Amino acid sequence: MTSSNQPTVLVVDFGAQYAQLIARRVREAKVYSEIVPHTITAAELVAKNPAAVILSGGPSSVYETGAPTLDPHFFDSGVPVFGICYGFQTMASVLGGEVARTGLSEFGGTALSVIEPNAKLFAGLDAELNVWMSHGDAVQAAPAGFTVTASSAGAPVAAFENLDRRLAGVQFHPEVMHSQSGQAILEHFLYDIAGISPNWTMTNVIDEQVALIKAQVGSKAVICGLSGGVDSAVAAALVHAAVGDQLTCVFVDHGLLRKGEAEQVAHDYVAATGIKLKVVNAQSRFLEALADVSDPETKRKIIGREFIRVFEQAAREVVADAGTAGEEVEFLVQGTLYPDVVESGGGSGTANIKSHHNVGGLPEDLQFSLIEPLRTLFKDEVRAVGLELSLPPEIVWRHPFPGPGLAIRIIGAITQERLEILREADAIAREELTKADLDAQIWQCPVVLLADVRSVGVQGDGRTYGHPIVLRPVSSEDAMTADWSRLPYEVLARISTRITNEVREVNRVTLDVTSKPPGTIEWE
């Protein structure tokens, strides 16, 4: 994503639930960051030429057999290092300090006392701060050459720094919003200790990506699949900025879209961008391929496979339409984001939480080379790029929608009837959320049809045996974690009443109040 002259901070993930949040906070400080697994060697870290390294928290104890650690020689490389929680303890242990289980665990909001008035990390901040702790072990003694700068009741060494070696660390989590002045502490490390200038902006991203895309594509043709979502819309606009009419967007109407989406893509987006668009009606093809399929991963793989096959045919037609016989469309643009990469097992050695055609569902004999200009960006950064590229706000701020569409919001086999039921229920929910001016307050609101479940109801003085609908409103910053949105009861009541009144096959509306983790945002 970045050019060779762009300073990069590497976040070493020791299994922390907040590793992605650390990376986000660094980017919010206008410094580019990436996540790397804790299995990375010191030599590999140095080879990446980072401007600084941040060691994340994690669930292990540093003195346990097999606990993740970092080669001591790395701390002699001259690279600035900042340790957080477990990363802080790892730094202390490796450099000769003392870490022990004291019996004074601290979890949640904790009073922190700054005991060194000249500390760089706490310059200009209050002497008493309320920070977010989550630890059972504590650093008892700092390594030689380090100044202890803060303490708490359960952590006699709650922060330290060695300015000569540009090393520092804290026991608490400055990246979480609950830590008072947490962002300021992180920025003190980045700017004052590591000496990094805050110059990474969305303009940089656009300029760098345009240059990279031009170099990769040359004079060859490119296609991009538009789904109607912000990711593909921004990815296409970015590539269009680089190669102009060499790009043709293909909109595949696979029959799994929400109400009105096909019209929005075919008219609004083209009007706003001037991008060449080819519309492919493949509804019958996808429905036939999905017939009698209930397993969610099988659905995703089928959709990914058919999606690419449709694209391959569309590419041949694009060549024929252009009258450029003998040339092939070599490149395919995808709106893959950083959370997609991380959750699909890339970027930090994580488990494969989900697979879809943006990352995990592509066929092995794919005939295109991929262009993924958003691969290291979070959703809010993608929106910022979209605004920089002058995309309409209604496209930029559209709620996320999965590539497999309504197929993964129907629990059970896909049929035309079930799609129509869900489409109508979803349209009602979206309309009422917009009327209540709640679109900007939630991340998204999947509407789920429990097609294989029936519930008893009473409608029109008669007994019914209809489908339940699940509302899944969630609040999130980047979809890595999420909480259910506390929507006003009156809004929920209107949605429920309208769905059960207007969608005759539905007689029950329920609310999903599960956070992520443990539940994912989508049901399948």
pLDDT of residue 252: 87
What's 244's DSSP letter?
Answer: G
135 among known catalytic residues: no
Catalytic residue among 34, 106, 161, 175: 175
Q: For residue 4, is pLDDT > 50?
A: no
pLDDT of residue 363: 56
Q: Using CA atoms, how far apart are residues 289 and 304, in angstroms rounded to an integer?
A: 11
Catalytic residue among 85, 224, 249, 445: 85
Summarize pLDDT for 217-239 with one digit per residue, the tens: 998 889 888 877 889 999 999 99
Over range 435-459, report the average pLDDT. Answer: 88
Percent over 90 (pLDDT), the chain: 54
Ranges 273-282, 283-292, 339-348, 361-370: which has the least confidence: 339-348
Summarize pLDDT for 189-204 with one digit per residue, the tens: 999 999 999 999 999 8
Q: Rounded to an integer, what is the distance from CA 186 to the centroid of its chain?
A: 21
Q: For residue 167, is pLDDT > 60?
A: yes
85 among known catalytic residues: yes
pLDDT of residue 73: 85
Q: For residue 354, is pLDDT > 50?
A: no
Q: In this predicted model, which residue has the larger pLDDT, 351 or 44?
A: 44
Q: Using CA atoms, how far apart are residues 365 and 112, in angstroms rounded to an integer?
A: 56
Burial of 404 (0-12, 13-18, 19+ CB in 10 A): buried
* β-sheet bridge partners, residue 333: 224, 371
Q: In this predicted model, which residue has the larger pLDDT, 422 or 331?
A: 422
| Residue 176 and residue 132 in contact, taking contact as beta carbons nearer than 8 Å | yes
Over range 398-408, report the average pLDDT. Answer: 88
* β-sheet bridge partners, residue 175: none
Question: Which segments within 290-351 are labelled E, that is strand?
Answer: 329-333
Over range 43-52, report the average pLDDT. Answer: 93
pLDDT of residue 314: 83
Look at the block and give the residue holding tokens 């912000």: 230
Over range 77-106, report the average pLDDT. Answer: 87
Contacts of 8 (CB under 8 A, 6+ apart): 2, 32, 33, 34, 48, 49, 50, 51
Over range 423-440, report the average pLDDT. Answer: 94
Q: In this predicted model, which residue has the larger pLDDT, 371 or 314?
A: 371
- pTM of the shown model: 0.75
Q: Using CA atoms, how far apart are residues 19 and 194, in angstroms rounded to an integer?
A: 19
* β-sheet bridge partners, residue 279: 251
pLDDT of residue 270: 83
Summarize pLDDT for 493-522 with one digit per residue, the tens: 999 999 999 999 999 999 999 998 888 899
Q: φ, ψ for residue 312 (rounded to 5)?
A: -60, -40
Q: In this predicted model, which residue has the larger pLDDT, 100 or 196?
A: 196
175 among known catalytic residues: yes
Helices (H), ranges, 174-229: 182-187, 202-217
pLDDT of residue 351: 34
Summarize pLDDT for 49-73 with one digit per residue, the tens: 999 999 998 878 888 778 888 888 8
Catalytic residue among 34, 38, 106, 173: 173
| Residue 400 and residue 482 in contact, taking contact as beta carbons nearer than 8 Å | no
pLDDT of residue 211: 94
| Cα–Cα distance list, 27 to 7, 190, 339, 341, 506 (Å) | 11, 11, 15, 18, 45
